Amino acid sequence: MRRRLICFFFCFLVLLPNSVAWSCDFPPKGILQGPRREYSGRYENRAYGFSVLIPQGVKGYDEDDPLYQRGFGVILGPAPLGYIDVGAEVNSLEETDPRSAVERMLGYMRKDGKRLITTRTTGYRLDTLPGQRSVVFYLCPKGATEFVDDSTVAISPDGRFLFQIRLQTTAARYQRDRAVLEKMLSSRKFIGSAN
């Protein structure tokens, strides 16, 4: 019982930011307005065991919190801005298949009132890890702008971590922003965690 209660509170803390990240308002305000760290070149995260190359001409950012570093975001401009989120999180729901993680994320979009226009889900490899990629064209509640969410998910070999690279942008910017996403997807490496 105690394990379930701890899992519930941990899932709440982990999933709340994920559901907010599926919003129509991106990039996160903390990266735009607050103090932040900046990255370029090869980014390496030993805690979650991955690395990725940030393409020339763009920068990675995360909130300036030295105790928490799950990844970073890339702001693609000019306005309207696109946003690529590169990160990992503890697999607190103990997903064993990336398809179920993608279905859960699509459920968040529906629950938030998005009108999904098209959804395409395919198998995809992030380095050596089998994954799932979903490309969703959608409309926000009370909005006429068409958005795209291009998200790729994989699970670490030991099942501890869930990896994700997600592009959020407008349909009009998608092809241009997707070129940056593809470079990052092809450079993503699983290096094993330090823990």
CA distance 187 to 18: 24
For the domain that residue 158 is a member of, what is the CATH number? 3.40.1000.10
Contact 135, 63 (CB under 8 A): no
Is a pLDDT exceeding 70 seen at residue 2? Answer: no
- Separation of alpha carbons 31 and 64, rounded Å: 9
Residue 172 lies in a domain: yes
Give how far the C-alpha of residue 88 lies from the chain's centroid of Cα atoms, to the nearest Å: 8
Residue with the larger pLDDT of the pair 132 and 25: 132
Q: Is position 195 within any domain? A: no
Closest C-alpha to 35, from 80, 66, 79: 66
Digit-coded pLDDT (tens) for 17-71:
343 344 577 888 777 777 888 999 999 999 999 999 999 999 999 887 766 788 9
Portion of the chain with pLDDT greater than 90, in percent: 57
**b (16+ CB within 10 A) / e for 140-150:** beeeeeebbbb
Global pTM exceeds 0.75: yes
Quick check: is 28 in a domain?
A: yes
| Structural domain harbouring 37 | 2-190
Asked, for residue 104, whether it belongs to a domain, the answer is yes
Whether residue 140 is contained in a domain is answered as yes
| Residue 73: inside a domain | yes
Label the pairing between strands 146-155 and 129-139.
Answer: antiparallel
Indicate whether 8 pLDDT > 80. no
63 within a domain of the structure (yes/no) = yes
Mean pLDDT calculated for residue range 63-84: 85
**Per-residue pLDDT reduced to its tens digit, 83-111:** 999 999 999 989 989 999 999 889 988 88
Query: φ and ψ at 140, to 5 degrees?
Result: -85, 155
Number of domains in the chain: 1
